[in-house]
Chains A and B, each alone.
Chain A
Amino acid sequence: MSAAAPTATVERAGWEAPASPRRSRRRRGWILPVYTVLVIAYLFLPIAVMILFGFNDLKGRFNFTWQGFTLRHYRDVLQFQELTLALRNSLLIAAVTTVVATILGTLVALALTRYRFRGRGSTNMFIFLPMATPEVVLGASLLSFFLTLGLPRGLLTILVAHIMFTISFVVVTVKARTHGFNREWEEAAKDLGATPWVTFWTVTFPLILPGIMAAAALAAALSIDDYVVTAFNSGQTSTFPLWVFGASRFGVPPQVNVMGTIIFVVGVALALATVAIQRRQGGAAPAPGGS
């Protein structure tokens, strides 16, 4: 769709009031967007509270009741060295996990939906197992494995663990996209001299990108918020959730809220930036393809 088509869609969706005679259309046109905004508001509700309490001028240590407005936690956001370090670790781990798990998981998903081969059925079932395994078991058995290997716990083992338990989520999500993928585009690419590798990058990948992005987002969220498995395999490395859970014994400092707020605001800004960039490029997402 071009600059023109989305406008048309948006109009139909009722973001701009259409001309008068289209009453029925307008009516059903605003329900979905309003609903979407409501759900997102619901998702953001606790975030709003979090942001609010980042400004709480608390007197004690427990950030539970509103005491008044202050910016001092923003000034002192790096007050807790360990927290800062933990956050940095978590971001790093999430980034690496997302990239690696998304790649590995996407390959598996492609194999499972695009090819018939022996062991496909059992592989399909096997993929669900790590998701079904309780986190304590995942953490404890992986720790015991690392101990058997004599592998010191740290950043590396956390990464190994995170990649391990996010792969399945990626596979399942990407499969939802690649299922029933219309092969004729790939055939056309190959016909035009593209090797499977090039075909993948120039055709398959852009067309399944929405699925990959959804999977990557899930992987990132899973990794950045993981507590149990990380606790087992972190050794002397601290992560954001570990620190925050620990801190809850003596009161989670507002700096945690501030950091959450920063992550959130940067996230929203990035999201809006992509919109702006796409507007500038005048392009939009590829047209959906049937099967």
Chain B
Amino acid sequence: GVRGTQEQPSPAASPSPLPAKSGELRVANWPLYIDLEGGKSPTLNDFEKQTDIDITYKEDINDNDEFFGTDLRQQLASDQPTGWDIITMTDWMIAKLSRLGWLEPLHHEVLPNATANLDAKFQDPYFDPGRKYSFPWAAGITGIGYNKKLTGRPITSINDLFDPAFKGKVGMFSEMRDTINFALFQLGVKPPDSATMDDIERAVELLTQQRDDGIVRAYYGNDYTDQLAGGNLALTMAWSGDVNYLKLDTPELEFVVPEEGGNRWTDNMAIPVHAEHPTDAHEWIDFVYQPDIATRITEWVWYESPVAGVQDLIREHAKSDRSLKPVANSGLVWPSEDVLANTYGYKILSEEEEAAWHDLFDPLVQG
């Protein structure tokens, strides 16, 4: 049953000693998040060859919450292995999992590549100080995607999301943290970490007003992309990488990090507690932190790589492969310092806060 954990969350626990390598590994990642060539992933092949580990790489994650619900929650609550050795979760979920004590602390000493090559800006994130539990896989920004033709003007501000001129043509995210962040930016509450419960109430009020004014068409998950591409949305909250790709087929689309601020997110590899092959899991993390491997992945995935020097390598490759040009120089894949300065993470929530936020936010998206 879904029994509660009697075990106290112990974020301070030191890593337990690693067992012997087992030669087996089960990785859960998002679909299409790794390079492919002719139906196979060269990275996975190389990994198997080089490490002699039999890897089961599953594109099994569709959604942070859903994966938590279907693959982690009950398993870990009843102290059973999840079946996964590596999971790839967004930052706030890493925070939540570590809060619940459901992540295995990492042995940095067996991660020479990772520790050496991790780009400085990823080294000490707010959600996992000191990279105790996780290493990033890729990173991106939540901003605004818009259709130049439909808006008729460049979009620069979150304010535009609240502009009655775009009544019924604005998309917001059903993802609570992203959307609340935007409302906080609009209210000038920055960084989100500083938001009080009052701020959140105001934020939801603002959003409710936006909804009731008929400005919001709907709250979207992944499916905002087709609505944006199909011209049903003039502007919408969006992920940087998506718009990057959408532009290729629909050139009138643009992505902007609003002047009030955008959300910075990373997807991070972590090892859930009770993982059966933690040693092999460490090998995987270290393996993908080799710059040439990371480059190969990034050239395919088009999201910012946390591995230092990857952009340079891609630029190098782009000289011979024109198709790599867009990713090599994209300001979206490789946000500048300025842009990054205007992006924020999510507030780390205690369980009570999370519940309180949901009580405020859920009625918004559920009418």
- Give A contacts to B, CB under 8 Å: 58-62, 64-65, 67, 76, 78-82, 84, 139-140, 143-144, 147-148, 150, 152-153, 231-232, 234-236, 238, 242-243, 245-251, 253
Q: State which of A61, A143, A242 has its C-beta within 8 Å of the C-beta of B32.
A: A61
In the complex, what distance in Å separates the CA atom of A251 from the CA atom of B303? 14
Return chain A residues, CB-CB under 8 Å to B350. Answer: none
Cβ distance A79 to chain B, nearest Cβ, rounded Å: 5
Cβ distance B262 to chain A, nearest Cβ, rounded Å: 19
Closest 8 CB pairs of A and B: A60-B248, A60-B245, A64-B229, A246-B31, A59-B248, A246-B62, A247-B31, A250-B32
Return chain B residues, CB-CB under 8 Å to A147. Answer: 1, 74-75, 78, 80
- Contact A246 to B60, CB < 8 A, known contacts A64-B249, A144-B1, A251-B32: yes
Contact assessment for B31 and A236 in the assembled complex, using a CB-CB cutoff below 8 Å: no
Contact assessment for A62 and B36 in the assembled complex, using a CB-CB cutoff below 8 Å: no
Return chain B residues, CB-CB under 8 Å to A248. Answer: 62, 222-223, 225
Can you list 8 A-B pairs, Cβ within 8 angstroms, ordered by A? A64-B246, A79-B38, A144-B74, A147-B1, A236-B83, A248-B223, A248-B225, A250-B245
Contact assessment for B74 and A238 in the assembled complex, using a CB-CB cutoff below 8 Å: no
Q: Does B40 contact A (CB under 8 A)?
A: yes
Return chain A residues, CB-CB under 8 Å to B2. Answer: 140, 144
Q: Does B14 contact A (CB under 8 A)?
A: no
Interface residue range, chain B:
35 or more
Return chain A residues, CB-CB under 8 Å to B245. Answer: 60-62, 250-251
Contact assessment for A65 and B249 in the assembled complex, using a CB-CB cutoff below 8 Å: yes
Return chain A residues, CB-CB under 8 Å to B223. Answer: 248
Q: Does B70 contact A (CB under 8 A)?
A: yes
Return chain A residues, CB-CB under 8 Å to B244. Answer: 60
Interface residues of A, dominant DSSP: loop
Contact assessment for B31 and A249 in the assembled complex, using a CB-CB cutoff below 8 Å: yes
- Give B contacts to A, CB under 8 Å: 1-2, 26, 28, 30-33, 36, 38-41, 56-62, 66, 69-70, 74-75, 78, 80, 83-84, 222-223, 225-226, 229-230, 241-242, 244-250
In the complex, what distance in Å separates the CA atom of A248 from the CA atom of B242? 11
In the complex, what distance in Å separates the CA atom of A253 from the CA atom of B32? 9
- Contact A249 to B30, CB < 8 A, known contacts A60-B249, A65-B230, A152-B83: yes
- Contact A62 to B242, CB < 8 A, known contacts A236-B60, A246-B62: yes
In the complex, what distance in Å separates the CA atom of A82 from the CA atom of B2? 31
Contact assessment for A243 and B59 in the assembled complex, using a CB-CB cutoff below 8 Å: yes
Return chain A residues, CB-CB under 8 Å to B69. Answer: 140, 232
Return chain B residues, CB-CB under 8 Å to A139. Answer: 70
Return chain A residues, CB-CB under 8 Å to B78. Answer: 144, 147-148
Contact assessment for A81 and B40 in the assembled complex, using a CB-CB cutoff below 8 Å: yes
In the complex, what distance in Å separates the CA atom of A242 from the CA atom of B248? 27
Residue of A nearest to B82 (CB): A235
Residue of B nearest to A153 (CB): B83
Contact assessment for A250 and B31 in the assembled complex, using a CB-CB cutoff below 8 Å: yes
Return chain A residues, CB-CB under 8 Å to B36. Answer: 79-81
Contact assessment for B249 and A62 in the assembled complex, using a CB-CB cutoff below 8 Å: yes
Contact assessment for B225 and A150 in the assembled complex, using a CB-CB cutoff below 8 Å: no
Identify which of A79, A81, A236, A249 gathers the most chain B CB atoms within 10 Å of its CB: A249
